[in-house]
Amino acid sequence: MESRWKAPSGQTRSGQARTQRPLRRPRWADCLSRDIQDQPGQHEMWYGVFLWALVSSLFFHVPAGLLALFTLRHHKYGRFMSVSILLMGIVGPITAGILTSAAIAGVYRAAGKEMIPFEALTLGTGQTFCVVVVSFLRILATL
C-alpha cells in the first residue's frame, strides 16, 4: 500500500534530488511568454527570433502581394509578380532567417546570456527592417 507522504520540493520520495524536466520542442507561443525559464537553451532562442522574423516579414509582404495582385490583375504576366512577392516573404525568412537567427542565438549562448522574449521580438523584426531598407534603397542594383 502506497503512503500519502509528499516529498519536499526538489526531492523524490526516496530522498534523491529531482532531475530537471526534459527539454521539449518549443512551440510558437513560447516566444510570447514573459517567463525567462521557458527559454533556457539555444534552440529556443533561435526559434523565437526566427518566428518574429517570419511574422514581421509576412506583415510586410502579404499587403504588398495583395496590392500587386489588385493593381496587375488585368496584365498578362504581371499578376504572377504577386506570387513571387508572397514567395519571397516566406522563402527569405526561412532560408536567411534561420541562419541569422541561429548566429544570434550562438552569440548569446557563447556570452552566457539568456534572451527574454522582447529581445527576440526586437532582433526578429530588426532583421525584417534591414531587408526592407535594403530593398527600398536598391543597394543590390548598384553592384
**pLDDT per position as a tens digit, 103-130:** 999 899 888 888 888 999 999 999 999 9
Query: Is this prediction's pTM over 0.75?
Result: no
Count, in order, helices (H) and strands (E) of the chain: 4, 0
pLDDT at position 36 is 46
DSSP strand E in the chain: where? none
Angle, vertex CA 45, rays to CA 89 and CA 124, nearest 5: 30
How far out from the chain centre does Cα 35 lie? 17
Domains of the chain by residue range: 37-142
Structure-block grid coordinates of residue 124: 526578429
Of the chain, the percentage scoring pLDDT greater than 90 comes to 23
Segments of the chain with pLDDT less than 50: 5, 7, 34, 36, 38-39
Angle, vertex CA 38, rays to CA 32 and CA 41, nearest 5: 110
